């Protein structure tokens, strides 16, 4: 584990340099242990694939003290964790909602049916959230679905768009610019800013499954949208 | 304490006027930007001048200010960049409390020399914070005040105390809070990405703030910095004030509406005691950087807090408003 001062008010804890489940698990364990302390001197935590950035109040803490704090957490008894929630996210792969689907098919050599089957098969892990509130970087994409990002990003990607960028897939929670290739859309809301406890559907470490939704179901779901979460 | 309700109606919104406070903290792990005022020093002083706590919401004014109509007596202050200020056509000075009688029209014109001015109003807004903050997140469209920049016709409601102690700002202290000179930077966290001569080039260069700058980041223009071309950095969390160097070699200072993670190497980070100066940089202004140690950065921050304590003083007698 490397402790790297990132600014006078932040410390980067690097647990590895690769994207792999074990390093990610250790990153999340550290993130949760620190978050559970609710130390008012720690102002923000940014977990990523293999690192945790810790923002702190520089009038109250310094890098050495954070280092000591972390050592204390590591030597503590690891708590038995509840299994992560599994979110089922219904996706409509209708071409009208999936402007890049045909191109992803031609880039990968798959038919639309094969692509949808490969995209709905895995259980994905939420590595971390970034880019915009509630945007999850998901791990577990079938390698044959990896495609390069668009050479020039779209100015507006509609909220709910499901997309592939490189070896990753994700869902845009809000209308935003974006360079990933759009292969479908979910009617599910992923962003609830009025909910102080859980403003986003997905949290670091959660699991995600995509299920196929037909167009009629999609249109009906837009009318009555309710978040669907199962604890697995 | 006796108080009264007060409405502020936006007649003209200015270029980009938003409600901000000292930021939305504690939600970075869900992807939320820190947001808040670009100049937190001016925000804190504006609040102190009208008897508010440091973190009370203020209006952040960018380049061109709004015209506001007040219903109900108010006590306000304007800080930050110099700006044309007038009340019913009569100009008034910034950096001091100003009584605004009910029915008056307050107009703020163009900022002079710097980018952002702040308007504080004595009292508390009649709104609930969203995720612990009154700040407006323009990207995520989050915030209790319309979740966007202010528009003509918007009405803000405040609950305002009838009496406020009188405060004055110490001009000499304020000029020290906005000293000129290069922005101070600590090195890291990606030192292995930058050859020693590239680091030297960064600290000896003059950069220009481009028009492609906003609250999310200040894009600089200068002699491009060379980076190792065949390496790939794993996405990591990025702190406020980090100076990222993307593939084109032109540095970007990540600012209050920044993304929480990034995949470009960081040459260093602007120290917390200089972030308010970043918020005051105008497009096409020149900026340069000087390297400091962590110990120097913390000294600078303590010094800044000390100056802030001296910046606003309570006048002994109580004034009627």
B311, pLDDT greater than 90: yes
E strand or H helix that includes residue B59: strand B58-62
Backbone φ, ψ for residue A19 (5° rounding)? -95, 105
Would residue A81 count as lying in a domain?
A: no
B230, pLDDT greater than 90: no
B110, pLDDT greater than 60: yes
Got the DSSP string for B188-247?
A: -S-GGGS-HHHHHHHHH--EEE-TT-BTTEEEEESSPPP--TT--PPPEE--TTEEE--T
Specify the CATH number for the domain of residue A171.
2.40.100.10
The predicted structure's pLDDT at residue A82:
79
B272, pLDDT greater than 50: yes
Q: Does A66 touch chain B (CB under 8 A)?
A: no
- Mutation target vs A (from B239, B246, B258; most A CBs, 10 A cutoff): B239
Structure tokens at A52: 């945790």
> In chain B, what residues touch A18 (CB-CB under 8 Å)?
234
Would residue A33 count as lying in a domain?
A: yes
Same domain, A128 and A25: no
B122, pLDDT greater than 60: yes
- Mutation target vs B (from A1, A2, A6; most B CBs, 10 A cutoff): A6
CATH number of the domain at B183-308, out of 2.70.98.10, 2.40.30.10, 2.40.100.10, 1.10.3720.10?
Answer: 2.40.100.10
Q: Helices (H), strands (E): how many in chain B?
A: 5, 22
Among A21, A52, A75, the domain-final residue is A75
Domain with A102, as residue range(s), is: 86-230
B101, pLDDT greater than 70: yes
Residues 99-128 of A with CB under 8 A from B: 128
Specify the CATH number for the domain of residue A32.
3.30.1360.40
> In chain A, what residues touch B27 (CB-CB under 8 Å)?
44, 133, 199
Contact A203 B30 (CB under 8 A): yes
Residue A58, CB half-sphere, CA atoms under 13 Å: how many?
24
Find the distance separating the first CA and the last CA of chain B, reported in whole Å.
13
How does strand A161-165 pair with strand A168-171? antiparallel
Residue A194, CB half-sphere, CA atoms under 13 Å: how many?
6
> In chain B, what residues touch A52 (CB-CB under 8 Å)?
237
The b-or-e profile of B37-73 (16+ CB within 10 A means b, else e) is bbbbbbbbbbbbbbbbeebbbbbbbbbbbbbbbbebb
A109, pLDDT greater than 80: yes
Q: How confident is the model at residue A78 (pLDDT cuts 50, 70, 90)?
A: low
Average pLDDT value for residue range A61-83 = 81
What 3-state class would DSSP assign to B81? strand
Query: Average pLDDT of chain B?
Result: 95
Span B280-308, pLDDT tens digits: 999 999 999 999 999 999 999 999 999 99
Would residue A225 count as lying in a domain?
A: yes
Nearest to A46 among B131, B241, B261 (CB): B261
Q: Does A58 touch chain B (CB under 8 A)?
A: yes
DSSP-assigned letter for residue A134: T
The predicted structure's pLDDT at residue A194:
85
Average pLDDT value for residue range B61-90 = 98
The predicted structure's pLDDT at residue B3:
94
The predicted structure's pLDDT at residue A232:
34
Contact B236 A133 (CB under 8 A): no
Among A75, A101, A129, the domain-final residue is A75
Contact B241 A7 (CB under 8 A): yes
Contacts of residue A189, Cβ cutoff 8 Å, sequence gap at least 6: A173, A201, A225, A227
The predicted structure's pLDDT at residue A224:
66
Contact B235 A176 (CB under 8 A): no
Backbone φ, ψ for residue B48 (5° rounding)? -60, -35
Among A75, A108, A126, the domain-final residue is A75
Nearest to B29 among A19, A31, A51 (CB): A31
Span B159-190, pLDDT tens digits: 999 998 999 999 999 999 999 999 999 998 99
Residues 21-40 of A with CB under 8 A from B: 31, 35
Q: How confident is the model at residue B136 (pLDDT cuts 50, 70, 90)?
A: very high
The predicted structure's pLDDT at residue B318:
53
Query: Average pLDDT of chain A?
Result: 92
Would residue A80 count as lying in a domain?
A: no
Same domain, A33 and A125: no
Q: Does A55 touch chain B (CB under 8 A)?
A: yes
Inter-residue long-range contacts of A69-78, CB under 8 Å, 24+ positions, other chains counted: A69/A34, A69/A37, A69/A39, A70/A3, A70/A13, A70/A30, A70/A34, A73/A30, A73/A33, A73/A34, A73/A37, A74/A30, A76/A33, A78/A29
Q: Does B53 touch chain A (CB under 8 A)?
A: no
Contacts of residue A36, Cβ cutoff 8 Å, sequence gap at least 6: none
Q: Is A134 within 8 Å of A201 (Cβ atoms)?
A: yes
Would residue A21 count as lying in a domain?
A: yes
Q: Which residue of B has its CA nearest to A61?
A: B298
Reported pTM: 0.94
Let me know how long chain B is. 321
Same domain, A23 and A129: no
Q: Is B100 within 8 Å of B70 (Cβ atoms)?
A: yes
Q: Is B289 within 8 Å of B185 (Cβ atoms)?
A: yes
Structure tokens at B220: 């600089």
Domain positions in chain B: 3-169, 183-308
Same domain, A155 and A210: yes
Nearest to A193 among B131, B240, B270 (CB): B131
> In chain B, what residues touch A203 (CB-CB under 8 Å)?
29-30
The b-or-e profile of B261-295 (16+ CB within 10 A means b, else e) is bbebbbbbbbbbbbbbbbbbbeeeeebebeebebe
> In chain B, what residues touch A48 (CB-CB under 8 Å)?
234-237, 261
Same domain, A38 and A149: no
B50, pLDDT greater than 60: yes
Span A165-212, pLDDT tens digits: 988 899 999 999 999 999 999 999 999 988 888 999 999 999 999 999
Same domain, A141 and A216: yes
Task: Please tell me whether the interface predicted TM-score (ipTM) of this complex is above 0.85.
Answer: yes
DSSP-assigned letter for residue A169: E
């Amino acid at each position: 584990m490397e402790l790297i001062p990132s600014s006078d008010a932040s410390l980067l804890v690097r647990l590895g340099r690769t994207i792999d489940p074990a390093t990610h698990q250790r990153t999340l364990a550290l993130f949760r242990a620190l978050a559970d302390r609710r130390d008012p001197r720690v102002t923000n935590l940014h977990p990523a694939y293999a690192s945790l950035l810790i923002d702190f109040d520089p009038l109250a803490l310094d890098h050495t003290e954070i280092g000591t704090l972390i050592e204390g957490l590591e030597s503590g008894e690891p708590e038995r964790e509840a299994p992560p929630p599994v979110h089922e996210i219904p996706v409509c792969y209708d071409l009208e909602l999936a402007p890049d689907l045909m191109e992803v098919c031609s880039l990968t050599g798959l038919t639309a049916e094969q692509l949808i089957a490969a995209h709905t098969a895995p259980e994905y892990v939420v590595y971390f959230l970034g880019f915009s509130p509630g945007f999850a970087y998901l791990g577990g994409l079938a390698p044959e679905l990896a495609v390069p990002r668009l050479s020039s990003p779209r100015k507006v990607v509609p909220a709910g768009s499901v997309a592939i960028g490189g070896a990753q897939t994700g869902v845009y929670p809000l209308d935003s610019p974006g360079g990933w290739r759009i292969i479908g859309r979910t009617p599910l809301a992923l962003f609830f800013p009025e909910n102080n406890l859980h403003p986003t559907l997905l949290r670091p470490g959660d699991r995600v499954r995509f299920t196929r939704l037909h167009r009629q179901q999609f249109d009906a779901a837009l009318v009555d949208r309710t978040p669907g979460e199962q604890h697995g | 304490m006796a108080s009264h309700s007060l409405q502020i109606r936006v007649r003209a919104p200015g270029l980009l006027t938003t409600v901000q406070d000292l930021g939305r903290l504690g939600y970075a792990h869900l992807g939320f930007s820190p947001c808040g005022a670009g100049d937190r020093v001016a925000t804190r002083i504006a609040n102190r001048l009208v008897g508010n706590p440091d973190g009370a919401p203020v209006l952040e004014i960018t380049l061109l200010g709004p015209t506001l109509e007040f219903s109900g007596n108010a006590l306000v202050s304007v800080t930050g960049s110099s700006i044309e200020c007038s009340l019913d056509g009569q100009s008034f000075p910034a950096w001091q409390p100003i009584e605004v009688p009910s029915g008056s029209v307050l107009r703020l014109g163009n900022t002079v020399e710097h980018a952002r001015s702040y308007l504080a109003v004595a009292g508390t807004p009649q709104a609930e914070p969203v995720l612990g903050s009154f700040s407006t997140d323009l990207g995520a469209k989050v915030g209790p005040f319309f979740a966007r920049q202010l528009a003509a016709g918007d009405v803000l409601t405040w609950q305002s105390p009838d009496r406020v102690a009188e405060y004055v700002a110490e001009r000499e202290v304020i000029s020290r809070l906005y000293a000129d000179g290069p922005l101070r930077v600590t090195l890291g966290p990606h030192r292995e990405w930058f050859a020693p001569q590239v680091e030297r080039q960064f600290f000896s260069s003059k950069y220009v703030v481009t028009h492609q700058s906003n609250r999310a980041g200040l894009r600089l223009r200068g002699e491009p910095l060379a980076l190792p071309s065949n390496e790939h950095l794993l996405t990591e969390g990025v702190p406020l004030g980090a100076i990222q160097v993307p593939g084109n070699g032109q540095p970007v200072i990540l600012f209050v509406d920044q993304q929480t993670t990034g995949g470009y190497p960081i040459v260093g980070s602007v120290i917390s005691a200089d972030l308010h100066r970043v918020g005051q940089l105008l497009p096409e202004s020149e900026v340069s950087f000087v390297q400091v140690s962590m110990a120097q950065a913390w000294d600078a921050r303590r010094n800044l807090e000390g100056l802030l304590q001296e910046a606003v003083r309570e006048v002994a007698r109580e004034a009627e408003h």
